[in-house]
Structure 1
Amino acid sequence: MAARRGSSGAIQVGVYTRIGKGDEAEGSGVVRQEEDCRLHCAARGWEVAKVYEDNDLSAYKRRTVRPEFRQMLEDLKAGRIDGVVVWDIDRFTRQPRELEAWIDEYEEAERRNRRLVFDSVSASDMDLSTENGRFIARIKVTIANQSSADTSRRTKRKHLELAAQGKLPGGRAPYGWNRDDRRTLVPEEAENLRKAVKDFLGGIRWASIAREWRDKGVRSHSGGFFDDSKIKRMLTNPRICGYRMHQGELFLDERGEPVVGDWEPIVPAGDWYLLTEKVRRESEGRATRDNATKYLLSGIARCGRCGTKMRAFPSYRKSKTSSQFKYACPGRNDGGCGGVARAGEPVDRLVRNAVFLSSDKALANVRERAPEWAEEEQLASLERDMAEFKQAWQQKRMSAARYIALTEDLEKQIAELHRERALHRAEAAAFSAGPIDIRERWEKLTIEQQRAAVIKVFRAVIIKPASNGPIFDPTDIEPVLR
C-alpha cells in the first residue's frame, strides 16, 4: 500500500512535540521543536497533517498518560497519517516498551506492504521502517531510559537529604506562608488555618469550614476557592505544625522523632496530632458521622416502636405557636414502621436540658490535674535499646543486617509511642482548662457542635408512641446514656 498523499501529493505525517519539567533550559521547547520539525518535513517533501503536543509531561514515568502520544498511534493505525517526525527520540519516548508498540505497528505495516516513515531532526538513522533504524532506536531509547532512571535516583536522594535536614522541598509556597521565602507566615492566612483546626476539633464539618471560607472570600495563592478536600489536606499535612513530610508521610529521624522543619509553624504539634487522630477515627467509622446538620436529633432519635432511626421533616405551620418541624419514623418502604411522629421543639428542649445537667455534673467533679501518661517508662526503655543497638553497630560489634533486623520494628514502636504521648499532652492541656460550660455557650454553638455535645452524652434518644394524645409527655422520651 502506498503512503497516504495529501492534496499536494505529499506524504502526510504527524509532528510530535513534548517538553518535560526542566527541559526548557535545554533549548527544546515545543515551539522550537515544531519549527525545526516543519523545516525538516519541508526539506523531504512531506506535508504536516497534524501536530501532536504533550506539554510538561514525562516520557519516562510509566504512569504518566500522554493523550496526544496515544492519539498519534491511533491515527497511524487508522491511516490518518503515514509517519511521524520528532525533534529527537527522547522527545518521543524514554520507555522501551512504548517504543516496541510503535515498532510492532511499523512491522505490521511492512507485512501489508504499507509504507510508513519515521524521522528525527537530530538524527536521520532512526527510521522505524528499517531493521537498522529500529536497532539504533532501541539503543538510544534504552540509553535515554537509563539516563532518566539515574536522574530519578539522584532526585529522590536529594529529597531524602532535604527531608532529613528539615528543609523545604521545591514548589510554590503553600497557603499560610509567604510566597517569597515560603518560611514566614502570612498572618491573615495563618489565622484562617488556626480557626479551621479549632473548628474541626470542635465538631464542625469540613464542608461547613469550606462554606465559611467561601463566604469570607478566602482564596488560594492561585486565586481559586478551597473545597473541603483541599482544606482537609492542608490541615492534615504535618507542615502546619512545623514537621517535615516525605513521600506523603511524617518523616522521622533515627530516634523515631519527627523532623522539625526550618519554617514557622501555624499550630502546636499537639493540635495537629488531635486533628489527625480524629480524622483517623472518622475514617475507620469510630466516630459518628454528622451528615444531617439542620436538626439536633437527626439520626440520633430512634423510633420507640421499631427502633429505626427517625428523620426530621419541616412542618406546615398553622399558627405562630405551631411546631416548625417534627421527628418521624420513616415508612415501611424506607425500613421503618411509619407509626411514630413527634413535634421537634419540645423533644430538643428536653434533650438539651439533659445535656446541661450532664455538663453541670462534670463541672462539679473537675479534677485538678490530668493523669500521667502510663507509657513513659516503656518509651524510655525502647529508646535505650535503640541507642545500644546503634552504638554496637557503629563500633562494628554488630552486622548491618543484624542491626536492621533488630531496629526495624523497634523504630515503628517508638514512633507510635511518640504519637501517643503527643496526643496525651494535647488532651491533658485541654483537660487542665476544665470542661466547657455548655449551658452558657449553647446558643453560640453551631448545630454541629450541639449535636456533638448530645452524642458525647447519649448513644440514642428513644421516642415512644404518644401516651397522652397531643400533649407532650416527657416520659415518652427516653435518652440512652453512654
Structure 2
Amino acid sequence: MKAGLYIRVSTDEQAKHGFSIRAQKDKLTKFATSQDWDIEDYYIEEGVSAKDMLRPELSRMFEDIKTGKIDVVLVYKLDRITRSVRDLYNILDLLEQHNCKFKSATEVYDTTSAIGRMFITLVASFAQFERENLGERVRMGMERMMEEGKFTGGISPFGYHYNKEAKTLVIDDDEAQVLRLIFDSYMRGLGEERTAKKVNQMGHTTRNGTTWTGKTIRDILTNPVAAGHLRWGGEVYRNFVDPIISEDQFQQCLKLRESRREMSPRAAGPSHYPFSGILKCGRCGAALKGQYRVGRVKEDGSRSKFKHYVCTKARGGSCDFKQISDTVVNDVFLKRLNQDLKDYQTALDKEKDAQQEVSNIEKETRYLEAQINKIQSRKRKWQLAYADEAITLEELKERTAEDREAHEILTKQLDELKQEQPDADPVYMVDALTDFIENWHELDDQEKKITLQLFVERVVIDAEDRRGTKTQLRQAWITDIVYK
C-alpha cells in the first residue's frame, strides 16, 4: 500500500507542544514501516495554520490522491490535517471517491467503517470547537488588556512607539514633531495635497521611508490617537495614550474637513476672487461679485487684468456703491484682522487669571466622557459573564439594550455640551487670527477663498465714492465682520 505522509506544524505549536517537523517525520516513517507500507511522498507544511485548506502541500497531496499515487493518508494527529468539520467532510469525501484511506498514527481512527467515520467526525467537531473557543478567549483577553491601558501589539500608530516592558504606547518625539506640523499646516489653510508637499519639502518621510501623499495625510488627520484616543476593534478607547495635540485642535481639524466637504461646488471650485460669496455691500447689504477689467496693450502684446468687486444691485441702479479693487479689499480686510487680533489679545490678557480654573463645561464634559467609558467597559463585562454562563442570553440582551440607550443619551448630552462652548474664545481667536494673518500671503487665490469660506461668515465693506489714483488709493473700511 502506498502511503502519503502529511506533516504540519505552526510556530506556536512547535514551541508549546513539541510537534516539530522532525519528530513527526520520524514517528510517521516508523509507523508506515511497521505496517509494511511504501512511502510514496512526504507532504510537509511548516508554520502554516489548519484553519482552512489553502495550503500548498495539502493541495499537492490531493492531486496525488486523484491520480492514484496514494492509497492511504497518514498523519500524526487528526488536527494536523484539519480543525474544521466542514473541511473534514470534504477530505473524507475526496478520499472515498478515489478509494483512499485515512489513518492517524497516535489515534484510533479507521475510515473503512461507518462507526469509524462517525467517530472521526465527532473528534473533528471538538477540535473546531476548541479553535473557536480559543479565538473567543484571545479576543476577550485582548479587550481586557485595552481596558487596562495596555496595547495588544501590532503596528504602533504614527507618533508613538511600543514599550515592551510596560506594554504601552509612548510618544515618539521625532514622529510627534511631524504630526504636529501636519495638523498645524492643515489648520492654516493648506489642503491635504499641499500639506503633503510641504512636509516632503521639509525632508520628512513616513515611517516606511516613503513620501507623504494626500491619503497618508488624511489618515493622520482623521486618526483620534493624536488627541490620545486609540481606535481598536471598532471601538475608540478615550485617553488611552498621552496626546500629541489638544482635543480642541483635533476637533477643529475634523470640523474643518467636514466644512470643506459640505462646501458647495461653486464656492469650493476654482476662483480668482477670494472674497466672492462672503463680501457684502455696506450700503444695501447685497453681495459683491468679482469681475476684472483689461488694461492697455503692452509692448509684448499682452494685457494686464485688474480684479475688482461690484455690488450686484448697482447694475440696476438700486445702489450707488462703486466698484472697488481687490487690492483695496485685501488691504482693509487684513487691517481689520490685525485690529481684531489686538482686541482679542487684550481680552485674553485680562482673563488669564480666570482661565487658570477649569470651567464648569469642561468638568461636565470630562464627567460625561467617564460615564461613556464605564458603559463601554460594562458591555464587555456582560459578554464575559455570558461566556462564563453567569447570566443568560436574554439577560445579556436586556442589559446590552439598557447600556446602549444610556450610551446614546450621554453621547447626545456630550454633543450638546460641546456646542455650548463659546465660539469666540479669546485663546482660540488669538491663535486662529495669528495663523490666518501669517499665512495669508503664502496662499493662492483658491486657497484664500477656501480659508475665508471656513473662517468668516461675512465681511461688510463700504468706501468713499471717489475713485482711487496711482498716488492716492480709495479709502475703504470694514463696517462688520462675522467669524464662524
- Cα deviations by residue, 1:452-477 (Å, 9 ceiling, x for unpaired): 22554699xxxxxxxxxxxxxxxxxx
Distance 1:380 1:27, change over 3 A: closer
Judge conservation of contact 1:270–1:425 (CA < 8 Å) in 2: no
Aligned twin of 1:26: 16
CA gap of 1:246–1:385, structure 2 versus 1, over 3 A, is: closer
Tell me the secondary structure at the aligned position of residue 170 of structure 1.
Answer: coil
Query: Which residue matches 1:75?
Result: 63
Equivalent residue of 2:160, what SS? coil
CA contact (8 A) 1:37 1:85 kept: no
- Could you tell me which of 124, 137, 142 is aligned with 1:159? 142
- The partner residue of 2:451 within 450, 453, 458 is 453
**Which of these residues, 46, 49, 68, is aligned with residue 39 of structure 2?**
46
User: Among 66, 79, 94, which residue is 1:105 paired with?
Assistant: 94
Give secondary structure in 2 for the equivalent of 1:250. strand
- The 5 Å alignment of 1:402-421 reads 406-418=402-414, 421=417
Please give the per-residue CA displacement for 1:232-285, whole angstroms capped at 9, x wherever unaligned: 44543333322244413213xxxxxx3x22x43212222233334555666xx4
- The sequence identity of aligned pairs, in percent, is 16
Q: Return closer, same or farther for 1:379/1:200 CA change in 2, 3 Å cut-off.
A: closer
| 8 Å CA contact 2:28, 2:76 repeated in 1 | no
For residue 184 of structure 1, what is the aligned residue in structure 2? 170
Which deviates the most, 263-272 or 234-243?
234-243
CA separation of 1:354 and 1:409: change in aligned 2, threshold 3 A: farther
The one of 436, 442, 445 aligned to 1:444: 442
Task: Tell me how far 1:199 sits from its aligned partner.
Answer: 2.6
Residue equivalent to 2:100: 116
Q: CA deviation at 1:146?
A: 2.0
Q: Within 2, Cα distance between the matches of 1:31 and 1:238?
A: 45
Alpha-carbon shift at residue 415 of structure 1 (Å): 2.5
1:192: how far off? Answer: 0.9
What is the TM-score of this pair, normalised by structure 2? 0.57
Q: How far did residue 118 of structure 1 move?
A: 3.3
- Which of residues 42, 54, 59 is equivalent to 2:51? 59
- Per-residue CA deviations over 1:108-163 (Å, capped at 9, x if unaligned) read x0xxxx22243445436265x65344323322222222222332232232233223
Q: CA deviation at 1:191?
A: 0.7
Larger Rg: 2
Q: For structure 2, which runs of at least 5 residues remain unmatched after alignment?
A: 277-297, 305-324, 352-358, 379-394, 459-483
Q: Which residue is equivalent to 2:291?
A: none
Distance 2:180 2:422 in 1: 15
C-alpha RMSD of matched pairs (Å): 5.5
Cα pair 2:40 2:69 within 8 Å, conserved: no
CA distance in 1: counterparts of 2:8 and 2:328, whole angstroms: 70
Q: 1:208 to 1:377 in 2, by over 3 A?
A: closer
How far apart in 1 are the matches of 2:110 and 2:179? 56
* Distance in 2 separating the partners of 1:24 and 1:159: 23
**Is residue 167 of structure 2 the alignment partner of residue 197 of structure 1?**
no
Q: Are 2:226 and 1:271 equivalent residues in the alignment? A: no
Q: Name 1:148's counterpart in structure 2.
A: 131
- Which residue type is aligned with residue 15 of structure 2? A
Structure 2 partner of 1:171: 154
SS at match of 2:151: coil
Q: Distance in 1 between matches of 2:244 and 2:364?
A: 31
TM-score by length of 1: 0.58
Provide closer, same or farther for how the CA distance between residues 59 and 403 of structure 1 changes in structure 2, counting only shifts above 3 A: closer
Change beyond 3 A, Cα 1:97–1:280: farther
Determine the C-alpha separation between the residues in 1 that align with 2:360 and 2:333.
28
Q: Is the 8 A contact 1:194 1:266 kept in 2?
A: yes
CA contact (8 A) 2:74 2:105 kept: yes
CA contact under 8 A between 1:95 and 1:145: conserved in structure 2?
yes
Which residue matches 1:286?
Answer: 262
- Report how many aligned residue pairs link the two structures: 378
Amino acid at match of 1:248: G
Residues 177 and 190 of structure 1 are in contact (CA less than 8 Å); yes or no, is this contact kept in structure 2?
A: yes
The answer to whether residue 236 in structure 2 is matched with residue 250 in structure 1 is yes
Residue in structure 1 matching 2:83, options 84, 94, 114:
94
Offset of 1:420 from its aligned partner?
Answer: 6.0
Q: Is the 8 A contact 2:51 2:82 kept in 1?
A: yes
Greater strand fraction, Structure 1 or Structure 2: 2
In 2, Cα distance between the equivalents of 1:400 and 1:119? 44
Structure 2 distance, partners of 1:169, 1:401, is 28
Taking structure 1 as reference, are residues 59 and 227 closer, same or farther at Cα in structure 2, changes over 3 Å only? farther
